[in-house]
Structure 1
Amino acid sequence: MPTKDVITSADLAEIRRSALGAANPLGVAAELADAVEQGRLAEPGDAGDALTLAAEIAEVRTRLDAALRYADRAVAAYPSGDDPRAGFARALRARILFRTGGRDDEAMADLTALRPLLVEQPDAPAYVSAALDAGGRSATAEEWLSEAVDTLLGQRETAAGEPAEAVSTAGHEAVEVGPPEAPGVLFFLLQQRHRVRRDLNLPHDRTDDLADRVESQLLRRAQQQQTAEPDLLFFPQAEFDRLLADQAGLTEAYGPDWDAHRARLEKELVRLAGTGPAGLHVLRASVNGLTGYAGRQGGDPAEPQVRAGYVRELEARPDARVAWPPERNDACWCGSGLKYKKCCLPRSRS
């Protein structure tokens, strides 16, 4: 990575996607740490993120001494323990401690302090269980996740008017985890518990059945939502060609070629305009962005709920929005360089 005077949040996101493929990943990690120390971050609040990323890179490259130094600094960089990112940094530090050897007690102390987050933060089940797995404590992960699931189910059933002592897996059929755009902590707990038990070769139990049902329920909802509100992901030509080379199964969702992709979007925008909404736009997408989001969620880009989540991520970024429609004589929204009237406007009629 070339040295930059100032590293932005967007730079950090790009480094996360590409650092391990760089010629010198450890140099990238050192550059991130130097940028924090020298005050070269555009957003000082990104210090913890930059140091956490440096620690992850060094850990993957098995430079555990450097990884631990970066992780120590990352934990210290978060001014409040309430910041969800602080929890991930501490879990990463614990994972590195396990791998260095001889410091298991210290790692377990860190993770035990994070245990209450299992019922509070959606990301916590994944990073706490991953750290325990790294320390050969998968059985402990299963115990903690199971107790957290029971705690949340008990809270839900008690809030619904059931006596606390009546809480059991018998009522699982009635569990509601929230809408697909915000599945909630329970969903992620069930998902991670299911994974850990599978890795431990434990027999399928009623809570595993619940995990399967909840996942199927959310998938159906996401598919229904996608049918009602199609995503408007737009892949520029080079990205589209790369998308189909990497994910051939997405031709049904985005078209067999770039012309068909643009025509599908133009027709959908015309249809939506006819229903009255203003401020229509497409979302400029990338293959790295989609696959990176899928990786963070532990999913596959071909899954509708993963693509729907990527749409929501881009919707929160104004720089990803491409306004529609342009004036007839203005440059087309697709980036072809042609006037709109000569490019995508006629596609809505084809």
Structure 2
Amino acid sequence: MPTKDVITSADLDELRRSALGTADPLGVAADLADAAQRGRLADPEDAGGALTLAAEIAEVRGRLDAALQYADRALAAYPSVADSRAGIARALRARILFRAGGREEEAMAELTALRHLLIEQPEAPAYVSAALDAGGFPAIAEEWLSEAVDTVLGRRATVAGAATEALPAEATVEVGPPEAPGVLFFLLQQRHRVRRNLNLPHDRQDDLADRLEAQLVRRAEQRQGAEPDLLFWPRAEFDRLLAEHAELAETYGPDWDAHRGRLERHLVQQANAGRSGLSVASASVDGLTGFARRHNGDLTDPEIRTRYARELASRPGTLISWPPERNDACWCGSGLKYKKCCLPRSRS
């Protein structure tokens, strides 16, 4: 299934969003690989990204042999292993090896080689832990992330002239500006997510993850000059929203766990202030896009999103009441009990 004679960077971005929904995703993957091989990319430096996308499509469609070939070619296309995109491709290759069966040792060797990037690249905690989780090794992901957090905090403590162990809970830790959170933020958030999935007890570094998240939210709100809207994005809608509008991670959180945590904490604050009858509006990307189009606006405009939230609030069936009972299903739709899901996210 040919795409275009020449594929631009913008075309690649669109294919990342839409390829799996086409009639022939594997045809798209093969065409991307052909474009990289035959010089049909407008920017030759997109070759690694095009091949990585081809590998992802083939993996999702269960064509693991083809996925592995595309991943190998993607790695060869990057001029340096230090390139963060090369790390993503290598983690993808490990994930494919896990799924292929019988190649767990090779997959672990790939990820072990990426382990040092956990304290160097903001993207690394997500793609390394995701690959380990896909291989059935979430406990190893927790171990690696915990050690990386200790390393980063230890370095900062040493610089500050304090003990080289983890900083105390009351210490002030810089998270970075809202538009560019630092490595520590992403390490703590991924560790927090992994530990929740493992049902591990909340510890001091989990507390620190919550505090840094709250700090980032406050800064973003101050920059926007307004309270956050109470739009709730179900998991699939959230993933699509950030895939199409990455800049909205500043408003809604870098991942779905952070998004739910922000809403839960805001709702708790509202309840503590004496408000009752609280709820969130379940949003969709198509709904917000259509609203923005009808009102000649841009969905990245906070005013458009606030007006969309108000419109949803007036429609039957779009509001989710809060809070549920502790033993009832969580409001976020995860299927877990509230006490095991979003209730603990109210900690700050």
Q: Which category describes the TM-score, using the shorter chain as reference length?
A: 0.5 to 0.7
Alpha-carbon shift at residue 302 of structure 1 (Å): 8.2
Alpha-carbon shift at residue 168 of structure 1 (Å): 2.7
Indicate how the Cα distance of structure 1 residues 293 and 13 shifts in structure 2: closer, same or farther if over 3 A, else same: farther
Give, as a single letter, the amino acid of the residue that structure 2 aligns with 1:187: F
Contact 2:175-2:215 at 8 Å conserved across structures: no
Indicate how the Cα distance of structure 1 residues 296 and 77 shifts in structure 2: closer, same or farther if over 3 A, else same: farther
Query: How big is each residue's C-alpha offset from its partner over 1:70-110, in whole Å with a ceiling of 9 and x where there is no partner?
Result: 11111111011111100000000000000000111111111
Contact 1:152-1:186 at 8 Å conserved across structures: yes
Give, as a single letter, the amino acid of the residue that structure 1 aligns with 2:104: D
Alpha-carbon shift at residue 225 of structure 1 (Å): 0.6
Alpha-carbon shift at residue 5 of structure 1 (Å): 1.1
The answer to whether structure 1 residue 289 and structure 2 residue 287 are counterparts is no
Alpha-carbon shift at residue 173 of structure 1 (Å): 3.3
Contact 1:98-1:104 at 8 Å conserved across structures: yes
Indicate how the Cα distance of structure 1 residues 16 and 99 shifts in structure 2: closer, same or farther if over 3 A, else same: same
Supply the distance in 2 between the matched residues of 1:172 and 1:144 (Cα, whole angstroms).
Answer: 24
The answer to whether structure 1 residue 298 and structure 2 residue 255 are counterparts is yes
Give, as a single letter, the amino acid of the residue that structure 1 aligns with 2:213: E
Alpha-carbon shift at residue 287 of structure 1 (Å): 9.4
Supply the distance in 2 between the matched residues of 1:41 and 1:187 (Cα, whole angstroms).
Answer: 35
Indicate how the Cα distance of structure 1 residues 200 and 92 shifts in structure 2: closer, same or farther if over 3 A, else same: same
Contact 2:3-2:28 at 8 Å conserved across structures: no
Alpha-carbon shift at residue 290 of structure 1 (Å): 2.5
Structure 2 partner of 1:128: 128
| Matched length | 256
Q: SS at the partner of 1:86?
A: helix
Query: How big is each residue's C-alpha offset from its partner over 1:43-70, in whole Å with a ceiling of 9 and x where there is no partner?
Result: 1100000000000111111111111111
Supply the distance in 2 between the matched residues of 1:126 and 1:9 (Cα, whole angstroms).
Answer: 23
Supply the distance in 2 between the matched residues of 1:19 and 1:42 (Cα, whole angstroms).
Answer: 19
Contact 2:32-2:54 at 8 Å conserved across structures: yes
Supply the distance in 2 between the matched residues of 1:133 and 1:201 (Cα, whole angstroms).
Answer: 14
Structure 2 partner of 1:168: 166
Contact 1:169-1:207 at 8 Å conserved across structures: no
Matches within 5 A, 1:1-350: 2-164=2-164, 167-171=165-169, 173-227=171-225, 249=231, 289-290=244-245, 297-299=254-256
Query: How big is each residue's C-alpha offset from its partner over 1:180-225, in whole Å with a ceiling of 9 and x where there is no partner?
Result: 1221000000000001001111111111111111111111110111
Which runs of no fewer than 5 residues in structure 2 stay unpaired?
Answer: 233-240, 263-295, 298-348
Q: SS at the partner of 1:3?
A: coil
Supply the distance in 1 between the matched residues of 2:123 and 2:243 (Cα, whole angstroms).
Answer: 21
Give, as a single letter, the amino acid of the residue that structure 2 aligns with 1:136: G
Supply the distance in 2 between the matched residues of 1:153 and 1:181 (Cα, whole angstroms).
Answer: 22
The TM-score with structure 1 as length reference comes to 0.67
Supply the distance in 2 between the matched residues of 1:225 and 1:114 (Cα, whole angstroms).
Answer: 35
Alignment RMSD (CA, Å): 3.1
Contact 2:157-2:166 at 8 Å conserved across structures: no
Alpha-carbon shift at residue 123 of structure 1 (Å): 0.2
Contact 1:290-1:301 at 8 Å conserved across structures: no
The TM-score with structure 2 as length reference comes to 0.67
Contact 1:58-1:66 at 8 Å conserved across structures: yes
Give, as a single letter, the amino acid of the residue that structure 2 aligns with 1:219: V
Indicate how the Cα distance of structure 1 residues 172 and 129 shifts in structure 2: closer, same or farther if over 3 A, else same: farther
Give, as a single letter, the amino acid of the residue that structure 1 aligns with 2:101: G
Query: How big is each residue's C-alpha offset from its partner over 1:260-312, in whole Å with a ceiling of 9 and x where there is no partner?
Result: xxxxxxxxxxxxxxxxxxxxxxxxxx997237965993249989x9xxxxxxx
Identify which range, 169-178 or 106-115, moves more after superposition.
169-178
Contact 1:249-1:302 at 8 Å conserved across structures: no
